[in-house]
Structure 1
Amino acid sequence: MADQIPEGVQTHIPNVARMYDYYLGGKDNFPADRQAAEKVLEIIPEARHGALANRAFLGRAVGFLAESGIDQFLDIGAGLPTQNNVHQVAPGARVVYVDNDPAVLVHGRALLGTNDNVTIVEGDVRRPGEILGHPDVRAAIDFDRPVGVLLLAIMHFVPDEDDPLGIIATLRRAMAPGSHLVLSHAAVDARPEASDGVAKVYDRASSSFVGRTGKEIVRLFDGFDVVEPGVVNLPEWRPEPGTAVPYRNIGSYFLGGVGAVSDGG
């Protein structure tokens, strides 16, 4: 990645997208990212499992939506491209990846620029109106038809003062009936004593971490009809048959769910 560092990128500051890449076992990260990620792993050793579970949840949820007939996706806070991206899980679908990180944009365009069905756009989840109104988004996504909107492991970097409920409501109002929201969010219920330590690491990174309880995360689905099995720890969301589901019965630690927009939505 070093030969693709865009101007202005500060490699000495831990970056949440590159830290996530490190958790996943990727190579698109720098020493500052690895050091910060290792500090998180010292506090929560299962953080790497959470990142991998989140990636697997993306695959299952997008596969579910594709099988339901959705053929266009808006992935906000997409992060660095890795294996089993949305366009790979749903081949032939139109996909818009949105991120506010210049390194993510450069790297993503280098890897995905030849795919006519894939668009990569600069945007910030905290300003959803700008994303929805972006000309490249409007050219790729027909909001009069069902769309899958993905907010995976991004809302726990959005503080309450930026109105996460309002952000999601803005997105919901733009989604036609039959559309679905896919959302995942780290929860603090199972390890409340670890939240402050993790937050202190991310306070020195590109985005601060916001610890929320399971009840607070469920509220993010207000206005959607949540599909079965509800908002659950990621490995428990429609696991593949025969798959062992770890960390059962320890409380909420990394929740995910899929919410549908009804005709009255």
Structure 2
Amino acid sequence: MGEPDRPSTARMIDFWLGGEHHFPVDVAAARAFEQAYGPCAPVFRALRAFLGRAVRAVADRGVDGFLVFGAGVPTMGNVHEAAPEATVLYTDVDPVTIRLGQRILAGSDRAGYGYGDATDIGTIDPAQLHRFVPGWGRRPVGIVFLGLAAFLDDATLSRTLDELYAAAAPGSCLAIDFDTEELAGYPEALAMMGPSFRMRAPASFRPLLGRWEPTEDGIVPVTHWRPEEPPPALPDAFHGAVAVRGDD
């Protein structure tokens, strides 16, 4: 795969996580963002740690198939590593990221990567969905929806989550994060996020979930969601939750 001429958020995050699947253009963009905001590695490592704890919690409920939207680079503690007994379908809309993900997972029989637009689940290849999330629509599955809510307006996000609720079987779980208003104090960094980026006040998070019911943990800063050790002192950039589909 040739070196890209434009940075990718997915590969920037891989850089911050200490991965190996990024390019100089991504490192330059990551450094520029840090100049405008501050160290990002601890923040994104905390978000990835939340992903791991959330996925393990869902797997402990007996879920053994996961559908991941906006998957980015499938390494560094991603879903198939957090739940090694499960099968996982990673999806994204960026063709470069999809090709990279397919190359990384080429030797895996438990995890696949394909195109999928979270706002239109019909875009997912049915054959891939059947292979890697075989219980979709019939038995509980895990849906991972990280890094996406901030790029959808309220109406689109609510509709998307409701469509996923309707499509998933009762007992399915949704792992989701929301961006807080942390970047409001960093206008240069906020400008780098682009016009579609949406910060939200924590009070707005629960209504957006609609029929999805958060676990008793609630929607909390990601470092405080079932921490396995004292939470680190980090900016309150992301809140996270696991929510469950009821029987209605």
Same-fold status (TM-score > 0.5):
yes
- In structure 2, what is the equivalent of residue 226 of structure 1? 214
Q: 8 Å contact 2:64–2:141 — kept in the other structure?
A: yes
TM-score normalised per structure 2: 0.90
CA distance in 2, matches of 1:244, 1:93: 28
- In structure 2, what is the equivalent of residue 182 of structure 1? 175
- In structure 2, what is the equivalent of residue 254 of structure 1? 238
1:127 aligns with 2:120: yes
Q: 8 Å contact 2:180–2:199 — kept in the other structure?
A: yes
The alpha-carbon deviation at position 208 of structure 1 amounts to 4.5
Q: 8 Å contact 1:39–1:201 — kept in the other structure?
A: no
- In structure 1, what is the equivalent of residue 188 of structure 2? 197
The partner residue of 1:217 within 205, 209, 214 is 205
The alpha-carbon deviation at position 35 of structure 1 amounts to 2.3
CA distance in 2, matches of 1:129, 1:212: 28
- 1:154-195 per-residue CA deviation (whole Å, 9 max, x = no partner) reads 22223457x11111111111111110000012211x45222x
Identical aligned residues as a percent: 33
The alpha-carbon deviation at position 30 of structure 1 amounts to 2.5
The partner residue of 1:244 within 212, 217, 230 is 230
Relative to 1, partners in 2 of residues 1:191 and 1:140: Cα closer, same or farther, differing over 3 Å? closer
- The gaps in structure 1 that reach 5 residues or longer are none
Q: Secondary structure at the match of 2:90?
A: strand
Q: 8 Å contact 1:199–1:210 — kept in the other structure?
A: no
Moved more, 44-53 or 143-152: 44-53
The alpha-carbon deviation at position 65 of structure 1 amounts to 1.0
Runs of 4+ in structure 1 displaced over 6 angstroms? Answer: none
The alpha-carbon deviation at position 46 of structure 1 amounts to 4.6
- 1:65-102 per-residue CA deviation (whole Å, 9 max, x = no partner) reads 11110011001111112222211221221211111122
Q: CA RMSD in A?
A: 2.2
The alpha-carbon deviation at position 61 of structure 1 amounts to 0.7
Alignment of 1:1-265 (within 5 A): 4-5=1-2, 11-131=4-124, 134-141=126-133, 142=135, 143-160=137-154, 163-188=156-181, 190-194=182-186, 196-203=187-194, 208-240=196-228, 243-247=229-233, 252-264=236-248
CA distance in 2, matches of 1:60, 1:126: 25
- The gaps in structure 2 that reach 5 residues or longer are none
CA distance in 1, matches of 2:145, 2:242: 10
Relative to 1, partners in 2 of residues 1:72 and 1:230: Cα closer, same or farther, differing over 3 Å? same
- 1:206-259 per-residue CA deviation (whole Å, 9 max, x = no partner) reads x9432222223333322111102110000100001xx121338x7x52110000
The count of aligned residue pairs is 246
The alpha-carbon deviation at position 29 of structure 1 amounts to 2.1
Relative to 1, partners in 2 of residues 1:69 and 1:239: Cα closer, same or farther, differing over 3 Å? same
Q: 8 Å contact 1:198–1:209 — kept in the other structure?
A: no
